[in-house]
Structure 1
């Protein structure tokens, strides 16, 4: 965050590239994480105080987003529409701590567009980083990922899934479909078994993005689940994901 006394403005940035954890969008409202890299956050710390006291303090708040490294995109002016609230998230050292989240709504949501291709590329980039973690660290981060998903609508609706959970499900599958138990049908250009993540209880029906609700399937079984969604297959996948 950067405060300008001359213009009475506060500039905030959400970086979708530098951090694997994103601030959550819910429609035209972003739940923005305050300042503080390590330890518990404080509402009296620097610009957390400024943001917490807006808009009553008269400071206008402007949001920028980073979708590509070192490229800042102006999203628009935002207004705090609800009190800040606390949540538990890991800090830059991976330790759990208490953070403050600020619900900020865009003044002009119609002016915002969402690049679906950029969102897909970012998710894949983050999943690649997640796959480099140890088994223990990957499970830890997957368990700590928020189960409730953010949604953002522009040209299309983007659902923000956790790359840690996707990477964990594929590692647990160990190159085999978790439904038919057959090896992945082919390898990616990077030599990795090709499997697709599937949510046992569909996200569209309120399912969580969690370890217990996410499995790795071959494309054929993935299509089968979306076409038939048989109760026997659901029960089998629930046992696999819950083990």
Structure 2
């Protein structure tokens, strides 16, 4: 665990970082769903629709370099946050007795992010869907997601996030 003084130094540094950049190349939610379903033909069609050069890079990344996700990271986040959403504090375990909150990569894997705790937050399915649907960037200055009509800061933060 990071000492509180070091965490505060990182928070202070983060205030100077820009918003996470957005590429907007593909319908990423659809792409991820097709990958998870193993629909290689649909993935190829999505990639083929991209501009020349970009499609080749995306194909190489997805089929050769795409990082595998480590399920241990999700387990650690759920333990650290007691299965609660870091944005709204909702804990589905109290009502449903199931871990429903999901790990979200602040710097998306499909955009070059790392599968590491310092790049992950635990959020409820509603927030996860909203982040992906609106392409909400993460503002490192105040540890919040910037949605079209409002900002939602992290309500619970027990681990340090790092921009890269």
More strand per residue: 1
TM over 0.5: no
Q: TM-score range by the shorter chain?
A: 0.3 to 0.5
Greater fraction of residues in helix = 2
State the structure with more CA Rg.
Answer: 1
TM-score for both structures, normalised by structure 2: 0.44
TM-score (norm 1): 0.31
